[in-house]
Structure formats: structure tokens, C-alpha cells
Structure 1
Amino acid sequence: MNFFEHQDRARQNTQQLVGLYVLSIGLMIGAIYIAILFLLRMAPRVWWHGELFLGVVCVTTIAIALASLYKIFCLREGGRVIAQELGGKLLISERANEQERQLLNIVEEMAIASGISVPEVYLLDAETSINAFAAGFTPNDAVIGITRGTLQHLNRDELQGVIGHEFSHILNGDMRLNLRLIGLLHGILFIYFTGRLLWHFRSSSREDKGLPLWAFGLVLMLIGGIGFICGSLIKAAVSRQREFLADASAVQFTRNPDGIAGVLEKLQSMDSRLIAPGAEAVSHMFFGNALNPSFWEDILATHPPLVERIRRVRGVKVRNTTACKGLPENKVYNL
């Protein structure tokens, strides 16, 4: 598979996975509908009630949409909100030291290579690990965040590879998709929180007539939890595909596969985890795994294995094509 076929396949797979996310919300609607049938003591005699089903679809969809829109509204200022929540400080050239000025120069170089405007750069000064992210809804409000450890442990070529990787997320719309996924997950969590509210309402009443409401609250909690897990699985799958695409794009922008490969090889023995409390909600935006390994790591990991990422980058050869802007001629990228 050549370089640009790999890009097309990553985008197609992402669209399919987003469709599965929507399907998971549909399953939640179905589960709520069945729960209401039992709550109204209609099941198992009646399994289909058109007006009730339509009502469940409308109410659930509106509730998820409003909760999601509220979260997205909170992020309306773009990537700088994420950067500031993670403890980042805006880098200004006039006040930057030598390492920071080198970073700003590389960001300007990658902006020229990718053909987009230069984003703001935030430094996560308290983070000593190797990691970076891009966040925003459009290239105009995009920011790049990078940890202090990345500046300290990477050489210029490796740092260029990381920045090229993040510019891919800006150019290909990954960061916009990531923010929308945060909103969708918040919508699903709203169902869980609604169920928990009904659960606590039952705890304040000992009357038997409160039992159906208590039971419905418990069902909503279970449905919300299942929906959250399904959403996390799909978010992880989307992010994995985009990481492969961003690695490939970094090679395209920098013309140097050794840069991005060198970073990935260092991450095999160095830390990429973050200490910021808000890192979990945005872990899928980062260059490397930002969280501690868990029992569900293989299933819910937002990044593909480092060995696989290195293998795909190290196998790069470049083929001359009119679409290969800025790439060396007479080579072929097999990814």
C-alpha cells in the first residue's frame, strides 16, 4: 500500500467507526425503550408501541444532543481552553529561551510545509514526559501543546517529527473530531447522571411506589455506563487510525522518517504519561499514551502499539507522484 492509499484508508475507517458510535447511541435508545415497557408493566405482553418508541427516541436524542452541545459550547474558544486546563503557558518568541525559540521555529517550518497558518504554541512546563497534542475546531483556533520533557529529550529532527505529526491532526480535521467525541461522550454520561439522580431520589423515599422510579434510575445508570464504554471503544479505534495517518503525514511534511521513528523508539524506554488531572478526558489527543497502563489497555488504548507504529514508519520508501508535494523524488512510501 502506498502513502496516499494509506491516508485514504485511514479516513474511510474513521467514518465507519463514527457510524458505529451513532449505532451505539441507537442501542441505548432501544434499551431505554424496553426499560420503560417494563416500568409501565406493558412487557412482556406488548413489545411494540409506536408512540412510546417515538417519544423515547425524541426525548433521549434531545437530551444527549443538549448535553453534548453544552460541552462543545464550553470548548467554543478552541484549543487554548484544553491547553490552559492542562496547565500550559503560551510561548512568546520575545520571552522564549533557546529551546523554546527552536520549537517556535519548527512550528513555523511545519506551517509552511503543510500550507496552514501558524498556530499558537503552549508549553506544559510541569510535564517531564515526552508528549504533545493539537486541539481546536479549525486551523484558525488551533493550538499545539508540548511537554517540557519533549524539549529536553528530543533532538531537532525528532522534535520536527512530533510537530509534523501534530500538524497532520490540524490539517486532516482530527482535532475537530476529537473535540466532538468529547461532546458525544458527555452526552452519553448525561444519561448515567440522570439515572444516578433518580437513584438518590429513591433513597429519600421509603414508599413502595418509589420502587419503579428507583429501578428505572438503576437501568439508566447501567445503560449510561454501557454507552460510555462503547463510546470509549470507538473513540480509541478512531484515534488509533488517526495516529497511523499522522505518523505518515509527519514523514510527508519533514521528508525525514528517521525523525518521527526516533521519537517512537525513545518512547519504548521513556515515559509519555501526564500528571495533569484533566489528561484523561483528552488522552486521545496526545502523541503518545498519556495515561497509566490498565487492565483494559489493549481494548481501550487510544494509541496503536509503538512497535507497529515504528514498523510502518521504518518501512517507508517514497514514490515520485504529482500528489507528493515537497517529497524527495524517485522514492516510494510503503506504509
Structure 2
Amino acid sequence: MNFFEHQDRARQNTQQLIGLFSLSIAVMIMAIYIATLFMFGMAPRVWWHPGIFLYVAGITIVAIAVGSLYKIACLRQGGSVIAQELGGRLLLLDTADEQGRILLNIVEEMAIASGISVPKVYLLERETGINAFAAGFTPNDAVIGVTRGTLEHLSRDELQGVIGHEFSHILNGDMRLNLRLVGLLHGILFIYLTGELLWRIRGSFRLEKEDKGLPIWAFGLALMAIGSIGLLCGHLIKAAVSRQREFLADASAVQFTRNPNGLTGVFQKLQKMDSRLISPGAEAASHMFFGNALNASF
């Protein structure tokens, strides 16, 4: 296998999927534009009005950007906060048990192999499933979280494969990409929440004196539907982007460890063992985990 070719293919596929994300936003703008024409009572007489289209596109993009930037700002505190929200505790060499010391040694080995600084390590003590994650915006604020079940059920070679996998996410900027996707999803959620607010008004106020316009509450209902479709597309594309970055991380892990059998053993165990988390914060960070952190779903 040509691992470098595998890495390049994964990066290219990720760029295509992010392009599809942008396309879904464009479709949302067109749908809101059509709903606006009905609200003003212009449809079906008029289907194209450049002024209204530019106004709708500008407002929609600004709304998504504001919602996204707000969410990203909330995540600026770094990977340590995310690890703590998941119930992790900082693992230190002088207070760690034997399994913890092995984990810290492997993290140091992978830091040397990947050429980046040693990140902080958090142990999710209450989690019995096999799972791990990397979080942060840059290698300097990155952390690696590992469940207790990972330490108990994996051999050293298998654990090394998992840690190498997470180091790939740090080295290739996957953490930053994942957080941006979270922010973009929150921006689309803002469209849905705006529609919900208008729908709750449930008034019959119309923007024209003539009884031809769409009621405000009906326009809000349309925004809710458009926002829901956007969220669904966003979740599907986020899952697809995550899958592509997982392929890249697998290839990089083998590159770091020079031992493909380690990851193979982990995958075989994941087919038989649980990887789900009990922490309520797992939902927001589910796309960052090595294995499926949530219950099986569509």
C-alpha cells in the first residue's frame, strides 16, 4: 500500500465534501429566497428579483456566519476544556498507575515519531468502552483523551496504533477542521431557531396591505423546514468528512508506528466490544472519536 497516496486521496475527498457543504448552503439561500417571494406576494407572478435575492443571500450568510463565529468563540478555550467536559482528568507521570504510565510513554514515542510537541493526556476514568479522541485548535493547545476501557482491553501495540491515529489528527489539522464544522452547523441551527421564533408569533400580519402575502408565522415554518434540511445535510457531510479524515489518520498511524497489525487488532476488537460513551458531552464531540461514541443511528 502507498500510504502517501492514501493520504493525498483522503485530503482531496475532504475538500470535495466541504464543497458540497457550501453547495447545501447555496440551496438553503435559494429556498429562503423563494419563501420570501411568497411572503411578499410576488410568487408565482415573479420568480427572479435580483434585489431581493441579494438581500436574502446577504442576510442568510451573515446569520450563518454570526452563529458560527459565536460557537467557535465558545470553543476557543482549547482541548483541555473539551476533555474536562467529557469527564477526563489530567494524567501525570508521578500519579499515574501502571496502565497510565504505559499510555504516557506511548504518547511521548508518537510525539517523537510525528515531530510535534507532547500533548496533555486526559483519562476518561468512567468510560469502559474502547475509544479515544484529540481536541484543540493547534498542536500547542491539543490534548489526547483515552478511555479507561482502551487501557484495559488493548495491548501495547494496539494502544500505540490508536495513539498514532490521534496524533495524525493533530498533525494534519483535523481538530481545527472538526471544530469549524461544529461552528458551521451551529450557524445553520441559527436559521432554524429564527424560523422557530417567527412561527411562535403565530400572527396573521402581512407585509402588504393586499391579502396576497405569506403570514409571518408561515414564513417562520418555512425557515424551520429549510433549517432542518440544512442541518441534516450538515450532519451527513460532517460524518462523511470525519470518515475521510479517519482514513487519513489510519494511514498516518501506520506510518508513525511501522506496525499495521496494531490497528488491525483494534478494529477486530471493536467489532466485538463497545465503544460508546456515557458522558452527556459525547454528542457534541462525537465526530472527534476513534470509534462510534453514540448509540447506533441512521
Scaled to the shorter chain, the TM-score interval is: over 0.9
What is the alpha-carbon distance in structure 1 between the residues aligned to residue 92 and residue 195 of structure 2? 47
Would the aligned equivalents of 2:205 and 2:216 in 1 still touch at CA under 8 Å?
no
Q: Residue 68 of structure 2 contacts residue 187 of structure 2 at CA under 8 Å; is this kept in 1?
A: yes
**In structure 2, which of residues 256, 262, 270 is the aligned counterpart of residue 253 of structure 1?**
256
What do the CA deviations read for 1:71-97 (whole angstroms, capped 9, x no partner)? 000000221121111111111112111
User: 1:105 maps to what in 2?
Assistant: 105
- 2:293 equivalent in structure 1: 290
Distance in 2, matches of 1:81 and 1:18, equals 27
How many angstroms does 1:201 deviate by? 1.7
Match of 1:234 in 2: 237
What is the DSSP-based 3-state SS (H/G/I as helix, E as strand, rest coil) of the residue aligned with 2:134?
A: strand
CA distance in 1, matches of 2:17, 2:275: 26
Q: Partner amino acid for 2:72?
A: I
Structure 2: how far apart are the matches of 1:209 and 1:24? 29
Q: Which string of whole-angstrom CA distances, capped at 9 and with x for unpartnered residues, describes residues 180-227 of structure 1?
A: 00000000011111111111121xx5x565971110110010000000
Amino acid paired to 2:127:
E
CA distance in 2, matches of 1:62, 1:80: 30
Aligned to 2:166: 166
The residue matched to 1:145 in structure 2 has which SS? strand
- Tell me the equivalent position of 1:191: 191
For residues 270 and 111 of structure 2, the distance between their equivalents in structure 1, rounded to whole angstroms, comes to 25
- Please list every run of at least 4 consecutive aligned residues from structure 1 whose deviation after the TM superposition is greater than 4 angstroms: 207-211
Larger relative contact order, structure 1 or 2 (CA cutoff 8 Å, min sep 6): 2
Q: Distance in 1 between matches of 2:88 and 2:219?
A: 43
Q: Distance in 1 between matches of 2:283 and 2:54?
A: 36
One-letter identity of the residue aligned with 1:216: F
Q: 1:59 corresponds to which residue?
A: 59
1:19 correspondence with 2:19: yes
Tell me, yes or no, if structure 1 residue 118 matches structure 2 residue 121: no
Equivalent position of 2:92 in the other structure: 92
Written as runs of structure 1 = structure 2, the 5 A alignment for 1:204-243 is 205=203, 207=204, 212-243=215-246
Distance in 2, matches of 1:6 and 1:67, equals 35
Residue equivalent to 2:175: 175
Calculate the TM-score normalised by the size of structure 2.
0.95
- What residue identity is the alignment partner of 1:19? G
- Provide the rounded CA distance (Å) in 2 between the counterparts of 1:197 and 1:27: 22
Deviations 1:102-140 (A, max 9, x none): 111110100000000011111111110000001111101
Name the CA distance, whole Å, in 2 between partners of 1:92 and 1:32.
Answer: 52
Q: 1:307-318, aligned counterparts within 5 Å?
A: none
Deviations 1:34-82 (A, max 9, x none): 0000010001111111111111111110110010000000000221121
